[in-house]
Amino acid sequence: MKFAKTVLVTTAIAAGILSSGAAMNIACADEAQDKIIIAHRGASAYLPEHTLESKALAYNMGVKYLEQDLAMTKDNRLVVIHDHFLDRVTDVADKFPDRARKDGRFYVIDFTLDEIKSLNFTEGFVVENGKRVQGYKGRFPMFTSTFKIHTFEEEIEFIQGLNKTMGKDIGLYVETKAPWFHKQEGKDISKATLEVLKKYGYTTKDSNVIFQTFDYPDLKYVVDTLMPKMDMSLKTVALIGKNDWGETYELKDGKWEPFDFNYLLNPKNYPEIAKYATGLGPTYEQLFNLKKTTKDHIVVNDLVKNAHINGMIVHPYTVRADALPKYCTDVNELYQAILIDADADGLFTDFPDLGVNFLNEYAKTK
């Protein structure tokens, strides 16, 4: 392994170059000097994503946070699922063949919780020529054993229960999926998410939860309106997508327009963004200068530095040892580039064991 290089947020603080919007984030940025591994959808490389089984496995691998992606059901319950569709990860097309929308997709929001719980959950697949083809070939076999979708409340109780029995304090890393879409359907997923978090005692910046979303306009609504109204103030992360994903839309002059993620990549906006976000969640490639990067030599850019100057932490996503970019031959090269060379404060990975192992080896050199 390579290691070396430590750039601390305190350097920026001591130098007096933190922006005015950064002050409220300093405590969180200080914490971030301890780099962390976030279990992306649980230990999703080893067990189907977001199942409680995959969360338990990740928990025992030594992560600091377990991730929850959330969508809302027809009867207004929050379920832990990555897509706001059911078709990639369940047998919904077999059980409810007539319930797809015109686009052929089966939407979580069109099904009650009872209906969703009747589905079998599986490792993700795509349908090619009428056949189900597993997305990640080396992962858990499709439609084997029995897995079910669970509610957000069930997952919180599961993690809090484990925290009690294992004597740890592992956090939630909660993502509201497509708040803009839920709004179009007349539902406020962010309000529902905060209500559940409040019920389970997560209310302040000291609470062991990070609220993340790709929907920056909705994040502003959460911070400006919802949290003050609900007497809450949680740590937040603004996720940065790519414009061609169609990840987020915003209402402009009564029309839903694609959100331009370049706003979140431009450091000139960071003092303003820091008023809303404790941190940024870019793709790991957004930390690299890909024009200068060559095989086994990753060149990093200033994204993390600029975030740190503005008091924001950075948690990029998603490292997958079985889907490395072409410029990497070993997952540790990628962990090194993100956590050490680019100086990110943590990262999301499908392989929490490998990420934790990397940080343990790194700690031995300190």
Between 18 and 72, CB nearer to ligand G3P: 72
Contacting positions for ligand G3P (CB under 6 A)? 40, 67, 69, 82, 175, 212, 239, 281, 317-318, 348
- Residue 294, preceding peptide bond in cis (omega within 30° of 0): no
CB 72 within 8 A of CB 80: no
- Per DSSP, 23 falls in state G
DSSP strand pairing (279-281 vs 313-314) = parallel
Q: Shortest Cβ distance from residue 82 to ligand G3P (Å)?
A: 6
Q: Shortest Cβ distance from residue 53 to ligand G3P (Å)?
A: 18
The residue number whose beta carbon is nearest to ligand G3P equals 317
Between 25 and 68, CB nearer to Ca ion: 68
- Per DSSP, 293 falls in state -
Q: Pick from ligand G3P, Ca ion, none: which does 239 bind, CB < 5 to 8 A by kind?
A: ligand G3P
Tokens linked to 114: 């009872």
Bridge partner residues of 347 (DSSP): 37
Between 66 and 359, CB nearer to Ca ion: 66
Between 82 and 84, CB nearer to ligand G3P: 82
Between 46 and 96, CB nearer to Ca ion: 46
Contacting positions for Ca ion (CB under 5 A)? 69, 175
Q: Shortest Cβ distance from residue 109 to ligand G3P (Å)?
A: 18
Q: Which of 316, 320, 323, 321 is nearest to 346 (CA)?
A: 316
Q: Shortest Cβ distance from residue 229 to Ca ion (Å)?
A: 25
Give the catalytic positions in this structure: 40, 82
Residue 153 and residue 151: Cα distance in Å, rounded?
5
Q: Pick from ligand G3P, Ca ion, none: which does 183 bind, CB < 5 to 8 A by kind?
A: none
DSSP string across 180-204: HHHHHTT--HHHHHHHHHHHTT--S
Beta strands in the chain (DSSP E): 36-39, 65-72, 78-80, 125-128, 131-134, 171-176, 209-213, 235-239, 249-252, 255-258, 279-281, 313-314, 346-349
Q: Pick from Ca ion, ligand G3P, none: which does 348 bind, CB < 5 to 8 A by kind?
A: ligand G3P
Residue 95 and residue 111: Cα distance in Å, rounded?
12
Between 69 and 188, CB nearer to Ca ion: 69
Q: Pick from ligand G3P, Ca ion, none: which does 284 bind, CB < 5 to 8 A by kind?
A: none
Between 50 and 187, CB nearer to Ca ion: 50
Q: Pick from Ca ion, ligand G3P, none: which does 318 bind, CB < 5 to 8 A by kind?
A: ligand G3P
Q: Pick from Ca ion, ligand G3P, none: which does 281 bind, CB < 5 to 8 A by kind?
A: ligand G3P
Per residue, the 3-state secondary structure of 347-364, as one string, reads EEECCHHHHHHHHHHHHH
- CA dist list (Å): 129 to 122, 126, 132, 133, 182: 20, 10, 8, 10, 31
Q: Pick from Ca ion, ligand G3P, none: which does 341 bind, CB < 5 to 8 A by kind?
A: none
Q: Shortest Cβ distance from residue 14 to ligand G3P (Å)?
A: 31
CA-angle at 272, arms to 269 and 277, nearest 5°: 105
How many CB atoms within 10 Å of residue 250?
15
Q: Shortest Cβ distance from residue 18 to Ca ion (Å)?
A: 28
DSSP string across 54-87: HHHHHHTTT-SEEEEEEEE-TTS-EEE-SSSBST
Q: Shortest Cβ distance from residue 94 to ligand G3P (Å)?
A: 25
How many CB atoms within 10 Å of residue 21?
18
